[in-house]
Amino acid sequence: MTVSKHIATQAIHAGRINDEQFGSLATPLYQTSTFVFDNAMQGANRFAGEEAGFIYTRLGNPTTRQLEMRLAAMEGMEDAAATATGMGAVSGALLANLSAGDHLIASKAVYGCSYALMAHQLTKWGIEVTFVDMTNIDNIEASIQPSTKVIFLESPINPNLVVLDIESIGKLAKKHQLISIIDNTFLTPILQQPAQFGFDLIVHSATKYLNGHGDVVAGIICGSAEMISHIKLTVLKDIGATISPHDAWLILRGLKTLPIRVEQHCKSAQIVAEFLAQHPMVDKVHYPGLKEHQGYKFIGKQMKAAGGVIGFEIKGDIAEGTALINRMKLFSIAVSLGDAESLIQHPASMTHSPYSQEERLDAGISDTLIRISVGLEYVEDLIADLKQSLDQVSNSDQRVA
């Protein structure tokens, strides 16, 4: 069938493999570890790459393949590789393209485990890593060495929601013939498609918005057919960071509602951010949907909306921030994002704890920063929950005074 290029239709139909035997409407779940060959020669031919077909689920599976083709279509890429976790996607994209002696340029602020991989693991294998403030394109260009091979970034950045100019960074990477990799987890292909700006690889923690129901850990790498084949046949095959068919099936189900879920996440997050911005106990709100945010100018240019994640800092210290989190009644204290449930967490002690305090502050991640993922609950209930906790901070502060 011909699938519309509109992403809402792609989210339901792209990559679909028709069940010719039984006519199942829902994607069949091929919960099998291995596949039977007609004869020994067919098995040998498949291992040699001379005949198409499935061999072993670590190497490919029909359910997984539908997920890969659907995400590739939604990101405007040729192909995709599904991984066991979001970090499996980040690791696969980096390890397949870096060797001892190569140089990697990464954004100074990234997800904590991405930072740990680059700062603590890649360097052990002879890969040099430079973390730079990518809000200034000159910083990136000044860091390029003869051995530089890859640029890695997030936009918006987790957890301080800084928005990077991905059009300029994509052009810079092409100019210097560097492989460009971007983590698009926060916005999803619904709100941002980095392939339009020349990025070579797009990674996602599919655990988050793509699945949307908090019951899967998985990742996705999207790119050219050649690059994805290389990643699959080297890192993913040999390290084994491949997705289970059941998790792929759950994400396929989640993708069908991704466009309408993202729309509601964005609407509610905008209302919550505006509430936080006017509360007397909030010192700063990090949300690109607010006009005073440095990323606001990129909405309509490289991103369609600001997304469903908000960072904010309260007036006070870390103890008051902890107290605020502990008083929440509707928001769940949990890491992750993109679920139907609203979540709240403290990056400095949780998701970004692999950074030292000095490294975190240098990356713009303060001790008082709180990150929330706005879910699909009635937005006035979310505001009431935030208000009751913030008001208690305010009343406590007045009593002390």
So what's the pLDDT on residue 401? 41
Task: For the chain, report the end-to-end CA distance as a whole number of angstroms.
Answer: 69
The predicted structure's pLDDT at residue 36: 96
Average pLDDT over residues 11-21: 87
Buried b (16+ CB within 10 A) or exposed e, 144-168: beeebbbbbbbbbbbbbbbbbbbee
Per-residue pLDDT of 172-194, as tens digits, reads: 999 999 999 999 999 999 999 99
Confidence (pLDDT) at 133? 96
Location of structure tokens 């960072």: 311
According to the model, what pLDDT value does residue 397 have? 55
Helix (H) or strand (E) holding 384: helix 379-400
What is the CA 287 to chain-centroid distance, rounded?
Answer: 17
> In the structure encoding, which two tokens stand for residue 195, read together?
């392939």
2 vs 251, which has greater pLDDT? Answer: 251
Domains of the chain from N-terminus onward: 7-30+61-255 (3.40.640.10), 258-400 (3.90.1150.10)
Threshold 0.85, pTM exceeds: yes
What single-letter DSSP state applies at residue 243? Answer: P
**pLDDT above 60 (res 400):** no
Read off the tokens for 204: 């996602």
Burial of 240 (0-12, 13-18, 19+ CB in 10 A): exposed
Residues with a catalytic annotation lie at 58, 111, 183, 208
88-94: average pLDDT: 98
- pLDDT at residue 373 is higher than 60: yes
Q: How far apart are CA 53 and CA 68, in angstroms?
A: 16
Taking residue 284's Cβ as centre, other Cβ atoms within 10 Å add up to 17
DSSP 121: I
User: What pLDDT does residue 286 have?
Assistant: 96
Pick from 250, 264, 266: nearest CA to 213: 250
Residues in the chain: 401
Look at residue 364 in the predicted model and tell me its pLDDT.
Answer: 77
* Pairing of β 219-223 and β 282-286: unpaired
pLDDT at 399: 40
Q: Which pLDDT score is estimated for 146?
A: 98
Q: Where are the beta strands (DSSP E) in 176-263?
A: 179-183, 201-205, 219-223
Q: Is the peptide bond before 156 cis (omega within 30 degrees of 0)?
A: yes
Cβ–Cβ < 8 Å for 271, 301 = no
Q: Which two tokens stand for residue 303?
A: 């991103």
Residues 6+ apart with CB under 8 A from 128: 102, 103, 104, 145, 147
Q: Is the pLDDT of residue 82 over 50?
A: yes
Q: What is the CA radius of gyration of the chain?
A: 22
Per-residue pLDDT tens for 114-160? 999 999 999 999 999 999 999 999 999 999 999 999 999 999 998 89
The H helix count followed by the E strand count for the chain is: 15, 12
Contacts from 17-24 at CB under 8 Å and sequence distance 24+?
17/62, 17/65, 17/66
Least confident interval from 247-261, 291-305, 359-373 = 359-373
Confidence of residue 321 (pLDDT cuts 50, 70, 90): confident
For residue 2, name the pLDDT band (cuts at 50, 70, 90): low
